[in-house]
């Protein structure tokens, strides 16, 4: 999940200035190819995160009405897979795109399968950290508060250490709920946290506090560190998980656009989704925005909507949105089968780009 939404022009100004902070990245241009396709959702929006199961089937997506849907590639059809609350009212919720219903319907944001157990872990902005087995249904709530007693308030993204079953996840704000995320950005809220769920103790430990819109979380291949997006500051942090530096933050990448979810590919490289905000900037087209940053060629020539880093922070690839509408709101990029599967907290589709 990522700021902002449509209403306040003040938000837009704040965000434009955030987007224009400086950094330099040299990379190959990955033009949006003609081989792209779009998989429409059935009347709902916001497939923020994507996941593929143990068999490589999917994607699975969490959507605006609180359900987790599964794509059947043979039938080319979406099916309901899971819910994040046993109390979800189908009449009220099914098909909803109304953020005000989220506290009742749920809003699954982060998704990730543990490939060892085939269980799906879910970060629901309202219902905390959950897990559901391979056949789906109503997910089991794993945690709704941390061991210091503080409630989970805006759970956003997660990753799993498959050896230990430990889940690392972000709680974006202790003050604002997901549907109020613009306020978290506008007020410079710094109550976000990085947390750790240990399945043996069933406890949630607060690892890092005081973060400004912590968002994507992704573990390195050897699980020695994770990357954490702090969206308000356009920063990716490296967080060591072992040794004397454990839970210290180191800068990993400074970005020009706001980072959202982070996912690793099979090699252990990291895809960071960048939000352009073009889809929510009123009366502003791509050219107007890019002209403001005329001293930076990377920014002018490209419309970076995602960037792939190796574990050392070297840029491997940039996904270019081409200034168009199709990729003007990218929340997550999941590399699977030589393709990039692209989620968005705003769109009513999953985009797929061939990436050979
Ligand atoms: C897709 O649907 C068909 C027909 O119901 C079923 O046989 C198949 O197992 C489904 N595929 C997946 C991946 O669920």
Q: pLDDT of 286-315, one tens digit each?
A: 443 333 444 444 444 478 899 999 999 999
DSSP 296: -
- Residue pair 27/35 in contact by the 8 Å Cβ criterion: no
- Kindly tell me if the per-residue pLDDT of 20 is higher than 60: no
Q: For residue 123, how far is its CA from the centre of ligand 1 (angstroms)?
A: 26
Is 228 contained in some domain? Answer: yes
- Highest mean pLDDT out of 8-12, 18-22, 308-312: 308-312
Cα-Cα-Cα-Cα dihedral of 317, 320, 326, 332, to 10°?
Answer: 30
Q: Which protein residue's CA is at the shortest distance from atom 11 of ligand 1?
A: 72
189 or 4, higher pLDDT = 189
Residue 3 pLDDT > 60: no
28 inside domain: yes
| Residue from 71, 74, 81 whose mutation best tests the ligand 1 pocket (most atoms within 8 A of CB) | 74
In a domain, 3, yes or no: no
Is residue 197 a part of any domain in this protein? yes
The parent domain of residue 104 ranges over 8-354
> Is 321 a member of any domain?
yes
Query: For residue 117, how far is its CA from the centre of ligand 1 (angstroms)?
Result: 20
Task: Check if 77 has its Cβ closer than 6 Å to any atom of ligand 1.
Answer: no
Answer yes or no: is pLDDT of 24 > 70: no
Shortest CA distance to 185 belongs to which of 79, 289, 260, 284? 260
Residues 111-153 have pLDDT tens digits of 999 999 999 999 999 999 999 999 999 999 999 999 999 999 9
Which residue has a Cα nearest atom 14 of ligand 1? 72
Which pairs with CB-CB distance under 8 Å and at least 24 residues apart come from 170-177?
A: 170/110, 170/123, 170/194, 170/195, 170/211, 170/214, 170/215, 170/216, 170/217, 170/228, 171/195, 171/214, 172/1, 172/125, 172/213, 172/214, 172/215, 173/213, 174/150, 177/102, 177/103, 177/125, 177/126, 177/153
- Verify whether ligand 1 is closer than 6 Å to residue 75 (CB atom): yes
- Whether 340 contacts 334, CB under 8 Å: yes
Half-sphere CA count of 229, side-chain side, radius 13 A = 34
Residue 113 lies in a domain: yes
Sign of CA dihedral 211, 107, 110, 299: negative
Mean pLDDT of 44-50: 97
CATH assignment of the domain containing 66: 2.120.10.30
d(CA 76, ligand 1 centre) in Å: 10
Q: Which residue has the higher pLDDT, 337 or 137?
A: 137
Alpha carbon of 353 to ligand 1 centroid (Å): 24
| Residue 201 scores a pLDDT above 80 | yes
Query: Could you tell me the pLDDT band of residue 356, with boundaries at 50, 70 and 90?
Result: low
What one-character-per-residue DSSP string does 117-154 give?
A: TTEEEEEETTTEEEEE-TT-EEPEEEESB-TTSPBP--
How far is the centre of ligand 1, averaged over its atoms, from the C-alpha of 72 (Å)? 6
Is the pLDDT at 107 greater than 50? The verdict is: yes
Percent of the chain clearing pLDDT 70 (strictly above)? 83
Q: Is residue 288 situated within a structural domain? A: yes
Give the mean pLDDT of 170-174: 97
Segment 270-275 mean pLDDT:
94
Nearest protein Cα to ligand 1, atom 12 = 72
pLDDT score, position 1:
52
Total domain count, the chain: 1
Four-residue CA torsion sign, 82, 87, 93, 94: positive
How many angstroms separate the CA atoms of 180 and 88, rounded? 21
Residue 242 CA, ligand 1 centroid: distance in Å: 42
* Closest approach atom of ligand 1 to CA 55: 13
């Amino acid at each position: 999940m990522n700021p902002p939404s449509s209403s306040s022009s003040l938000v837009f100004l704040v965000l434009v200035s955030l987007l224009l902070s400086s950094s330099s990245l040299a990379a190959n241009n990955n033009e949006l190819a003609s081989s792209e396709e779009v998989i429409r959702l059935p009347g709902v929006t916001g497939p923020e995160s994507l996941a593929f199961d143990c068999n490589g089937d999917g994607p699975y997506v969490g959507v605006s009405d609180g359900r987790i849907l599964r794509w059947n590639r043979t039938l080319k059809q979406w099916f309901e897979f899971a819910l994040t609350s046993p109390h979800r009212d189908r009449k009220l919720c099914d098909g909803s795109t109304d953020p005000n219903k989220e506290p009742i319907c749920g809003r699954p944001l982060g998704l990730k399968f543990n490939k060892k157990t085939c269980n799906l872990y879910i970060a629901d902005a309202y219902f905390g950290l959950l897990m559901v087995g391979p056949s789906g249904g109503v997910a089991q709530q794993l945690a709704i508060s941390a061991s210091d007693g503080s409630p989970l308030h805006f759970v956003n993204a997660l990753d799993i250490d498959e050896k230990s079953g430990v889940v690392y996840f972000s709680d974006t704000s202790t003050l604002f709920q997901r549907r109020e995320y613009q306020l978290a950005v506008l007020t410079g809220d710094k109550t976000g946290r990085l947390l750790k769920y240990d399945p043996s103790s069933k406890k949630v430990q607060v690892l890092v506090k005081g973060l400004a819109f912590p968002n994507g979380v992704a573990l390195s291949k050897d699980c020695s560190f994770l990357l954490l997006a702090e969206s308000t500051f356009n920063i990716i942090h490296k967080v060591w998980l072992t040794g004397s530096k454990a839970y210290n933050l180191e800068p990993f990448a400074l970005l020009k656009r706001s980072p959202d979810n982070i996912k690793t590919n099979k090699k252990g490289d990291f895809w960071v989704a960048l939000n352009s905000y073009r889809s929510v900037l009123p009366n502003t087209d791509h050219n107007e925005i890019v002209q403001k940053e005329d001293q930076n060629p990377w920014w002018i020539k490209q419309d970076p909507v995602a960037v792939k880093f190796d574990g050392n922070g070297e840029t491997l690839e940039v996904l270019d949105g081409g200034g168009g509408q199709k990729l003007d709101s990218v929340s997550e990029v999941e590399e699977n089968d030589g393709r990039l599967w692209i989620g968005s907290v705003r769109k009513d589709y999953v985009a797929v780009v061939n990436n050979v």
